[in-house]
């Protein structure tokens, strides 16, 4: 299942993903709602693609709940979360 998520994300970031394909991603995520890597990728789409910090934070929070403290993936998610917060703060200042 992981490869399906990554293929969809690659399509999205290459500008090749249609709204129907985004819906397909959502449906796949519903089948495995506890898949941290897919939730993280969804957060990236929400922030980088749709500029929705609130939706991205919601999903990043969920990933952090699912991933154990000692897992290397947690650090990656945490770093991304901090970057999101910093970038939102920069936008508020301007």
Q: Which pLDDT score, from 0 to 100, does residue 94 have?
A: 33
Low-confidence ranges of the chain (pLDDT < 50): 1, 92-94
Q: Give, as one character, the DSSP assignment of residue 33.
A: T
60 burial level (CB within 10 Å; 0-12, 13-18, 19+):
buried
Q: Which pLDDT score, from 0 to 100, does residue 59 have?
A: 93
- Report d(CA 44, CA 50) in Å as an integer: 9
42 burial level (CB within 10 Å; 0-12, 13-18, 19+):
buried
Q: Which pLDDT score, from 0 to 100, does residue 93 have?
A: 37
pTM: 0.71
Residue-wise pLDDT for 37-47, tens only, equals 888 988 988 88
């Amino acid at each position: 299942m992981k490869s399906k998520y990554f293929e969809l994300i690659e399509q999205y970031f290459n500008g090749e993903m249609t709204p129907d394909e985004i819906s397909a991603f959502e449906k796949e995520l519903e089948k495995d709602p506890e898949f941290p890597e897919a939730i993280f990728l969804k957060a990236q789409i929400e922030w980088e693609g749709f500029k929705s910090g609130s939706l991205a934070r919601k999903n990043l929070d969920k990933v952090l709940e699912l991933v154990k403290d000692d897992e290397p993936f947690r650090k990656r998610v945490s770093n991304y979360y901090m970057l999101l917060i910093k970038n939102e703060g920069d936008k508020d200042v301007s």
